[in-house]
Structure 1
Amino acid sequence: MSGIGVEAWLNLEGTPFAVLPRFVTSLAIGLLLGVERERKQRPLAGIRTFPLAAMLGTMLTMLGQMTATPVLIAVGLAGVIALGFLPEGHQEAEVQEPRTTTLVSLMLAYGLGALVWYNQSELAIATAILATALLYLKPELTGIARKLERRDLLSLLQFATLTFIILPILPNRAMGPYLALNPHKIWLMVVLIVGVSLTGYLAVRLLGERASGPWLGLLGGMVSSTATSLVYAREARSNPGSLSFATSVILLANIVLFLRLIVLAAILVPAALGAMAMVMLPALGLGLITALLRFRHDQSQAGHPELTLSNPTELKLALGFALMFAVVVLCSAWLHDLYGSRGIYAVALISGVNDVDPITLTVLNLFGEHRLDIRQVIISVVLAVFANNLFKFGLIASLGGRTLAWRCLPTFILSGAGMLGGLLLLGTGVA
């Protein structure tokens, strides 16, 4: 990075003040942190000390570079740390803010000042903003921490182990029959399933059922409507009190799928956006109407059982889904080897059972290369969505039970009818 370019804008090159903008940047960073600290009762450092510490970091880094004495940076940091050992200088009965927090913030300001000298102003400013937000939001963060139990923290540690320790060491290459199995991608599905389940559990614990349901549906639809349907279908079966909540999350996740396809077309091949929107918008609209009717019906009913989601510490469901994912991928590769020559539509049906995104990306790229026309692209995507919806509805019925399946069926049927109607309109327009 080359810095924010203030020196060139002010035309200070060649003058004694060429580096002054860097000190001004450090001053601003220190003021940002210092203003937040000044709000506390009798802080160790405040609106004056923080800017001075940041500019000290910039100055000592400059001197260390000019004199080839980088130890000056460490000396300055030691001086800042020494401030924490000074006596408080007052005997107030209540000093609410721990000195350690202010001391670490002061050390950070000093370090960010040093970072500014190395032409990393953007990074230093962004870090200062994040640090100020962390300091300012102490009451909210403390409230969240107090709501979490020991098993919640164990679930977070478990998820971190799955994501940041196991996933990176798995080979990310194709292997096995038809080179269809990729251990990294299969384990990524485990991470996805556990992540969706853990997000839902924590959202309900922290936000409540009504506040977290719509957000979980939107998030699940953007990440994986299949994984979301699986997780909350299982929850509805194991806890009848979560039936309404699970229905809302599943329906919203599956409705957002149509919006996601429109966004993919807009980003990858804007020329296909009009046709994709013509087919997906009717499905999106009809799905929203049926979902809203379901939500209103649920809210009008009194006496819902209490919602208590189970903590997602068990990995049996995730591992089972990963195994199923591997089997579907393997069968897809086998069927593609047998019937792939019969056209892109067979491939769309086969691959759509597992995930809509791969075939969508493939046909959009082929359209961009002028190897498919727009009608072939849209038909392929529609076939993939139908196959995927059929698979998801099977998951909902088998894992969630008959009641959940009947609650979700109208949205699946009418959104599918919307796609077919849009396809017919597209065929008329193309013809």
Structure 2
Amino acid sequence: MDTVDAFQRLGVALAIGLLIGIERGWQEREVRPGGRTAGVRTFTLIGLLGGLAGYLQPSLGTTFSISLLVLVGAIYTLLKWREASEDGDYSITGHIAALVVFALGALAVTGDQAVAAAGGVAAAAMLAARTRLHGFLRRLTWVELRSALVLLAMTLIALPLLPDRTVDPWDALNPHSLWLMTVMIAALSYAGYVAVRVAGPHRGILFAGAAGGLVSSTALTLSFANFAKETPENGGQLAAGAMIAGSLSLGRVLVITALLAPNLGAALAVSLLPALLAMLAAAFWSIRYASNNAQAPALKLKNPFELRVVLQFGALLGLIIWLSKLIIDYAGSAMFYVVAAVSGLMDVDAITLSTARMTANGLSPATALDAILIAACVNMAAKVALAASIDGRGAFPVRLGLATLASIGAGLAGYLLLPQTLLAGTGP
């Protein structure tokens, strides 16, 4: 290790200690001077000390680094014990943070600097999220915790045991692949569900629309339609929230396709991105001419990690995959479009997953693209129909319907301008 590299690595170790020291100092900024065990300077020096231990390790051996780490931990524990006897705070977070800073400082010198720096940022973010995490735990229900644990166990324990091959006479259903896709969708939906649970849907209609769109844009549209019927003056703002949810639903389709069939995702983006942008533009237009006093209704969204919900989606996905394979083999692509349209009435994720996976098994890229777009269009139209059935001719379904027409029109324009060379390159 030359001198320049050594200075650079020690600088990273110092920066890690400084970053976590700033966070620790901010958390304890109200404590009187000298009333806390460690602050910005102490954590910065601990990071530098870890880096120096790593730098001296080749000449002094690993035992020296370990002994220094134990000494730092012992001194910190002794001082923290005296502090705890005064203020009654027996948290060991500070102890662990000091040891992490030392270890990351050593890693920055002896190992990968990028990994050490990333670890420092992650540790600081985790420490800073204390209030949010504790608040989330207070609101976490036993059903949510149980569902997440059961699904994690089924994914990490059961998934490796599932056969990674088709097991039916029609060569359509792969248990390993089916369960993996099901959990992937549940995890994507859970991100939005956690956002609603942590920040609360009452942070605003637009936030609720964005978070609800990650969970279920259909459920959010129904919730907002009922609220718009009760409070017609909020129809414009609620329609904007539903539009944002719809645009994020299209974004989900793009993400799913890009993950499973990247080349098909590129072709799909030519149609869906204009549709998504048109829906967002309509949402901002609706916000501009709507009342600013609207309040977000309470969202009644199902926990996407609840086992029954996941199994229902898995069953639907398996049925669509099986029907799609049979129809493609025996009836041709024309009937496959019918399956896509019917699937879009219920859920656009399932047909997107099955279609994207089928492109790797010989399904024509053009057929796959058309099927996904048909399902997306039917899904958007179905939400407008549901809203109209609840709120009649109110502002909510009218504005949502106009936005949907604009979105479908923009998507159609993108589809007609799709370069054939791009579509031709979407093979398996």
TM-score per shorter chain, which class?
0.5 to 0.7
Note the C-alpha offset of 1:136.
3.3
Q: Summarize deviations over 1:191-234 as a string: whole Å, max 9, x none.
A: 3554466444443333233547645655776x7xxx7246547x
Q: Summarize deviations over 1:366-405 as a string: whole Å, max 9, x none.
A: 9xxxxx9xxx95x86345311343367669979x994289
Q: Return the match for 2:298 from 293, 307, 316.
A: 307
Q: Which residue of 2 aligns with 1:29?
A: 16
Partners of 1:230 and 1:396 within 8 A in 2: no
Structure 2 residue 201 is the aligned partner of structure 1 residue 203: no
Change (3 A) 1:418 1:251: same
Q: Secondary structure at the match of 1:134?
A: helix
Equivalent pairs counted in the alignment come to: 391
Equivalent residue letter for 1:390: V
Equivalent residue letter for 1:326: G
Structure 2 residue 351 is the aligned partner of structure 1 residue 355: yes
Unpaired stretches in structure 1, ≥5 consecutive residues: 1-6, 367-371
Q: How many angstroms apart in 1 are the aligned matches of 2:384 and 2:162?
A: 31
Q: Return the match for 1:386 from 370, 374, 385.
A: 374
Q: Which residue of 2 aligns with 1:319?
A: 311
Q: How many angstroms apart in 2 are the aligned matches of 1:334 and 1:130?
A: 48
Note the C-alpha offset of 1:307.
1.7
Change (3 A) 1:187 1:59: same
Note the C-alpha offset of 1:190.
4.0
Q: Return the match for 2:37 from 15, 21, 44.
A: 44
Q: How many angstroms apart in 1 are the aligned matches of 2:193 and 2:254?
A: 30
Note the C-alpha offset of 1:122.
1.4
The percent of aligned pairs where both chains have the same amino acid is 25
Unpaired stretches in structure 2, ≥5 consecutive residues: 230-234, 344-349, 420-428
Of the two, which has the highest radius of gyration?
1
Partners of 2:202 and 2:298 within 8 A in 1: no
Q: Which residue of 1 aligns with 2:320?
A: 328
Structure 2 residue 119 is the aligned partner of structure 1 residue 127: yes
Q: How many angstroms apart in 2 are the aligned matches of 1:405 and 1:186?
A: 39
Change (3 A) 1:240 1:254: closer
Partners of 1:349 and 1:387 within 8 A in 2: no
Note the C-alpha offset of 1:331.
0.8
Structure 2 residue 89 is the aligned partner of structure 1 residue 102: no
Note the C-alpha offset of 1:167.
4.1
Change (3 A) 1:43 1:153: farther
Note the C-alpha offset of 1:259.
6.0
Note the C-alpha offset of 1:75.
1.9
Note the C-alpha offset of 1:54.
2.9
Greater displacement, 37-46 / 88-97 = 88-97
Root-mean-square deviation (CA), in Å?
A: 5.0
- For 1:286-305, list aligned pairs within 5 A: 286-288=278-280
TM-score (ref. length: structure 1): 0.67
Equivalent residue letter for 2:59: M
Equivalent residue letter for 1:109: V
Q: Which residue of 2 aligns with 1:4?
A: none
Note the C-alpha offset of 1:347.
5.8
Note the C-alpha offset of 1:327.
0.9
Change (3 A) 1:35 1:161: same
Q: How many angstroms apart in 2 are the aligned matches of 1:246 and 1:323?
A: 33
Q: Return the match for 2:171 from 179, 195, 204.
A: 179
- For 1:334-413, list aligned pairs within 5 A: 334-340=326-332, 353=343, 354-356=350-352, 377=366, 381-390=369-378, 402-403=389-390, 407=397, 411-413=403-405
Q: How many angstroms apart in 2 are the aligned matches of 1:242 and 1:164?
A: 43
Note the C-alpha offset of 1:94.
6.7
TM-score (ref. length: structure 2): 0.68
- For 1:256-295, list aligned pairs within 5 A: 256=248, 277=270, 279-280=271-272, 283-284=275-276, 286-288=278-280
Note the C-alpha offset of 1:333.
0.5
Partners of 1:37 and 1:43 within 8 A in 2: no
Q: Return the match for 1:71 from 48, 63, 66.
A: 63
